[in-house]
């Protein structure tokens, strides 16, 4: 019987794992809540493939430990593959899959909701109401329909975000080095990032963490933006120079900042710091600001998305194990 072993299974994933098991009675499924490490690789011994999800690196030692247990078929329940030692994976003959699209709507909705909350100064108003200050002024909001919304990156998520913001009545402009032909026909694209920065009241990032995009939001780009700009990053932490954002907020140039990702998030996000010394002064500063909305990389985190991540990852792994072509293979290049 085919056997698949899964790592780091959370409580919220278990109903969808059972759903997949029930639909595949001829496959034995075992799992643990532990992350995949060189030490835990032995838990998968006897399996034909593994399904994984973690922020830890898939190091050469981890991959070797899996291979030593006879496993070279690995399916990620997430998108990112930058934490895999690809040279070692290639050397060992690994086949790898990911889930590149699990719910663009989840992430785009989160970006749109948080941007609208910043414009309406919801955090300031919530804080006033909590202390029983029920006066309106001076906490006045801005309507989404009055904004020019600049979208950087027009892939799956960016396009859903554009539709949502247009639903509010906003004017939407976009920039992408890879232009979508349909969007280009409709005249969404501006010629350069500088053009977008100069025109947009709200700027939302929907691009990958590649070297060319690291710190694309910096002192220089913020200086080019409109006064009272709102910046939204639900994509990848390294896209934004955190110190530059803080300077922009301090100067008043940046009206508000939405962040679901952070350039130093590993080891800080997805941890409970209540009653403990908080390890990051910059992040603490941002969390405390009334015009910054921080969520700990949860834009994706919906029941719809989690189901897709689990089901698609197991589908992929079964295809690998059965020698079929997986739907979403990752190119293993060292």
pLDDT in tens, 210-249: 999 999 999 999 999 999 999 999 999 999 999 999 999 9
pLDDT at 174: 98
How many CB atoms are closer than 10 A to CB 35?
15
Residue 236 annotated to the active site: yes
Domain range 2-102+303-330, CATH class: alpha beta
CATH architecture of 104-294: 3-Layer(aba) Sandwich (3.40)
- Residue in 13, 109, 263, 265 annotated catalytic: 265
Domain assignments of the chain as residue spans, ordered by start? 2-102+303-330, 104-294
- Burial bucket for residue 334 (CB in 10 Å: 0-12, 13-18, 19+): exposed
Q: What is the mean pLDDT of the chain?
A: 96
Q: Is 265 a catalytic residue?
A: yes
Residue 334 is predicted with a pLDDT of: 67
Write down the pLDDT at residue 56. 85
| Contact (CB, 8 A) for 36 and 61 | no
pLDDT band at 119 (very low <50, low <70, confident <90, very high): very high
DSSP 192-219: -HHHHHHH-SEEEE-----GGGTT-BSH
Residue of 77, 297, 307, 319 marked active site? 297
User: In CATH terms, are 2-102+303-330 and 104-294 the same topology?
Assistant: yes
Q: What is the pTM (predicted TM-score) of this model? A: 0.90
Say yes or no to pLDDT of 143 above 80.
yes
Is residue 82 pLDDT above 90, yes or no?
no
- The predicted structure's pLDDT at residue 30: 97
In the predicted structure, residue 179 carries a pLDDT above the cut 70 = yes
283-303 residue pLDDT tens:
999 999 999 999 999 999 999
58 strand-pairing partners? 84
Which residue among the candidates 77, 236, 307, 319 is catalytic per the annotation? 236
- What are the tens digits of pLDDT across the range 84-107? 999 999 999 999 999 998 899 999
Question: Is residue 297 flagged as an active site residue?
Answer: yes
| Per-residue model confidence (pLDDT) at position 284 | 97
DSSP track, 253-312 = SEEEEEES--TT-TTTTTS--TTS--S-HHHHHHHH-TTEEE-SS-TT-SHHHHHHHHHH
Per-residue pLDDT reduced to its tens digit, 18-70: 999 999 999 999 999 999 999 999 999 999 999 999 878 999 999 999 999 99
By C-alpha distance, which of 247, 239, 178, 238 is closest to 203? 239
């Amino acid at each position: 019987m085919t056997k698949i072993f899964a790592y780091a299974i959370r409580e919220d994933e278990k109903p969808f794992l059972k759903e997949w098991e029930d639909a595949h009675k001829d496959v034995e499924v075992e799992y643990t809540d532990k992350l995949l490490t060189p030490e835990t690789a032995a838990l998968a011994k006897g399996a034909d493939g593994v399904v994984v999800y973690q922020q830890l690196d898939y190091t050469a030692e981890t991959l070797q430990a899996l291979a030593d247990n006879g496993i070279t078929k690995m399916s990620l329940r997430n998108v990112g593959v930058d934490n895999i030692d690809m040279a070692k994976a290639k050397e060992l003959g690994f086949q790898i899959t990911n889930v590149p699209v699990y719910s663009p709507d989840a992430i785009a909705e989160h970006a749109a909701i948080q941007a609208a909350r910043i414009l309406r100064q919801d955090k300031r108003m919530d804080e006033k109401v909590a202390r029983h200050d029920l006066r309106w002024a001076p906490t006045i909001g801005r309507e989404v329909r009055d904004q020019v919304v600049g979208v950087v990156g027009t892939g799956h998520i960016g396009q859903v975000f554009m539709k949502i913001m247009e639903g509010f009545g906003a004017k939407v402009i976009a920039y992408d080095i890879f232009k979508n032909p349909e969007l280009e026909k409709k005249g969404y694209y501006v010629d350069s990032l500088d053009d977008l920065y100069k025109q947009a009241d709200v700027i939302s990032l929907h691009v990958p963490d590649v070297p060319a995009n690291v710190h694309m939001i910096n002192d220089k780009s913020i200086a080019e933006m409109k006064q009272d700009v709102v910046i939204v990053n639900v994509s990848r932490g390294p896209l934004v120079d955190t110190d530059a954002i803080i300077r922009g907020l301090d100067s008043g140039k940046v009206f508000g900042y939405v962040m679901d990702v952070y350039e130093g998030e590993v080891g800080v996000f997805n941890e409970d710091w209540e009653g403990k010394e908080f390890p990051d002064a910059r992040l603490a500063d941002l969390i405390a600001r009334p015009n910054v909305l921080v969520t700990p990389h949860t834009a994706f985190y919906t029941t719809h998305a989690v189901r897709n991540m689990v089901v698609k990852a197991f589908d992929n792994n079964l295809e690998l194990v059965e020698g079929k072509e997986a739907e979403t293979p990752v190119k293993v290049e060292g």
